């Protein structure tokens, strides 16, 4: 039951929170509207049924009956209208009552919603308090766990400290015991020294061996007091000793033996053979008839070994002519073999001219192979250059026209011509009319060789400034030094 109540509480809280988030209110007046609709539908259905029944009965009855029925109908209609009016009044009253009820319900719903909101807020507050309590409990549990872990670590550390203290106590006890024994021994020595200042001297009465312990005696030279002590056994000092030396072919033997007492340990072990240390003394290469030989000797035992190698190749030598095939004979066994030359023909040896070249036709020559095989090839000799003599002028060049000269080959008579450069005009200029300050002059340039000429204009000159008295010759007057005139035109220049 407790679980169910808690589940119902949670569902109510969830619904209230959803309503609070969305801003909706649960519907209260929905039932009243539905009842009104159902009453209206029922009244409509009853009126339709009554009209259908009356229409069916009227078709069967007579006119009188129809009139009576009509009257009855009118009465019924009046009654129905009265009933409708009463029903409408009742419906109005019902509606007013319903509206009042709806208003009351809405007010009650509002109050209920406020109560539910207050309840939701209280539930939220309770949930928050519960969450806070749960978080506090979790924090407390964590703190308790951490405290327990800290206590465990503290207990472990304390146990370690206790163990260390116990160990230190034990070590201090042992150190104290050692110190006490030392003090006691010192006291005994002091007491002895007080009695006799001993001068001890060690003498070995029995030497120690590998297996048996020895003895030594300490004797005072003053009082003759003796003290004896044992010398520890030395133990065996085993080393490997070769019983039988190994050779190149045979293995040896070795065993472990004590260097002091000579006692042997375990069984003898085999030493591997050394093997021959062979050195090559003589080596003969194989020929086409016999196999080769390698003579070896061991540096330790002096044994000699001969080892045969493979046959050698024939010694045919090179071909007679390296540019062609020839039969070669082996110098050892006399076998023959056709040998091809390593190089081809090289036609750069002796030459023999077949037809000499001229300036109009190429010649031919035979060129032999340089290796002396007798093979030759025909090579063309290029043409010789024409042997043209001196040049003779056929037409002399002038100022305007280039000239030509000709040369003839002394061997074949072929001629060739070449053009001579133009000589160029030799111009002379002559002034035909002098230029003055009033009009332009003219000059003519003429070639002295061909007579070609051209006329050009000379630009006007500037006025030549002269005093007036220089023109008139009258030097009297005050304006002689001040007035200037042009020498050519006589115009006054200010």
Q: What's the pLDDT tens digit per position in 278-291?
A: 999 888 888 888 88
Most confident of 126-135, 155-164, 405-414, 465-474: 405-414
For tokens 């006490």, what's the residue?
A: 180
Residue 23 has pLDDT above 60, yes or no: no
Packing angle, helices 63-195 and 2-22, rounded to 10: 110
Mind listing the pLDDT tens digit for each residue in 307-335?
Answer: 888 888 888 777 677 777 777 788 888 78
pLDDT grade for 397, boundaries at 50, 70 and 90: confident
- 417 or 31: which leads in pLDDT: 417
Q: What is the pLDDT of residue 39?
A: 45
pLDDT of residue 46 exceeding 60, the answer is no
CB 318 within 8 A of CB 325: no
- Contacts with 417 (C-beta within 8 Å, 6 or more apart), sequence order: 394, 404, 405, 406, 407
> Whole-angstrom Cα distance, residue 264 to residue 240?
10
Based on its alpha-carbon atoms, the radius of gyration of the chain, rounded to whole angstroms, reads: 79
Average pLDDT over residues 16-28: 60
120-138 residue pLDDT tens = 677 667 766 766 776 777 6
CA 491 to chain centre: 101
pTM, rounded to two decimals: 0.27
Residue 480 has what pLDDT?
56
Among 149-153, 241-245, 265-269, 304-308, the least confident range: 149-153
Q: Is the pLDDT of residue 56 over 50?
A: no
Higher pLDDT, 134 or 104: 134
pLDDT at 212 over 70: yes
Three-state DSSP at 112 gives helix
Q: Which residue has the higher pLDDT, 47 or 242?
A: 242
Q: How far apart are the C-alpha atoms of 22 and 2, rounded to whole Å?
A: 30
Helix (H, G, I), strand (E, B) or coil at 174: helix
pLDDT value at residue 256: 93
């Amino acid at each position: 039951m407790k679980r169910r109540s808690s589940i119902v509480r949670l569902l109510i809280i969830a619904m209230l929170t959803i309503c609070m988030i969305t801003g909706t209110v649960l519907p209260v007046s929905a039932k009243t509207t539905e009842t009104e609709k159902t009453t209206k539908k029922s009244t409509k259905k009853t009126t339709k049924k009554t009209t259908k029944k009356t229409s069916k009965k009227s078709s069967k009855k007579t006119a009188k009956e129809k009139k009576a029925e009509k009257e009855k109908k009118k009465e019924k209609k009046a009654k129905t209208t009265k009933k409708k009016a009463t029903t409408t009044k009742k419906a109005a009253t019902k509606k007013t009552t319903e509206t009042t009820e709806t208003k009351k319900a809405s007010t009650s719903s509002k109050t209920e919603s406020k109560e539910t909101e207050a309840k939701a807020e209280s539930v939220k507050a309770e949930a928050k308090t519960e969450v806070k309590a749960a978080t506090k409990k979790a924090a407390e549990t964590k703190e308790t766990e951490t405290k327990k872990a800290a206590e465990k670590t503290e207990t472990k550390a304390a146990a370690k400290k206790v163990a260390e203290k116990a160990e230190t106590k034990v070590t201090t006890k042992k150190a104290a015991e050692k110190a006490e024994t030392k003090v006691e021994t010192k006291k005994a020595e002091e007491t002895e020294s007080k009695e006799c200042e001993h001068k001890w001297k060690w003498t070995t009465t029995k030497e120690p061996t590998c297996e048996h312990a020895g003895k030594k005696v300490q004797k005072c030279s003053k009082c003759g007091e003796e003290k004896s002590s044992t010398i520890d056994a030395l133990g065996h000092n085993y080393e490997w000793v070769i019983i039988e030396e190994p050779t190149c072919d045979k293995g040896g033997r070795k065993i472990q033996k004590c260097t002091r007492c000579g006692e042997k340990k375990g069984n003898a072990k085999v030493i591997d053979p050394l093997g021959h240390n062979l050195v090559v003394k003589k080596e003969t290469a194989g020929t086409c008839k016999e196999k080769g030989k390698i003579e070896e000797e061991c540096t330790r035992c002096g044994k000699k070994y001969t080892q045969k190698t493979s046959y050698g190749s024939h010694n045919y030598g090179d071909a007679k002519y390296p540019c062609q095939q020839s039969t070669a004979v082996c110098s050892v066994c006399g076998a023959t073999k056709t040998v091809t030359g390593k190089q081809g023909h090289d036609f750069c040896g002796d030459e023999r001219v077949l037809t000499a070249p001229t300036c109009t036709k190429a010649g031919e020559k035979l060129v032999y192979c340089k290796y002396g095989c007798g093979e030759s090839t025909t090579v063309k000799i290029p043409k010789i250059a024409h042997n043209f003599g001196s040049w003779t002028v056929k037409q002399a060049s002038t100022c305007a026209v280039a000239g030509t000269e000709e040369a003839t080959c002394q061997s074949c008579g072929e001629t060739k011509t070449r053009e001579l450069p133009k000589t160029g005009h030799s111009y002379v200029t002559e002034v035909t009319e002098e230029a003055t300050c009033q009009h332009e002059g003219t000059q003519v340039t003429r070639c002295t060789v061909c007579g070609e000429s051209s006329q050009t204009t000379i630009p006007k000159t500037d006025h030549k400034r002269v005093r007036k008295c220089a023109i008139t010759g009258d030097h009297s007057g005050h304006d002689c030094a001040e007035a200037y005139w042009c020498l050519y035109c006589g115009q006054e220049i200010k």
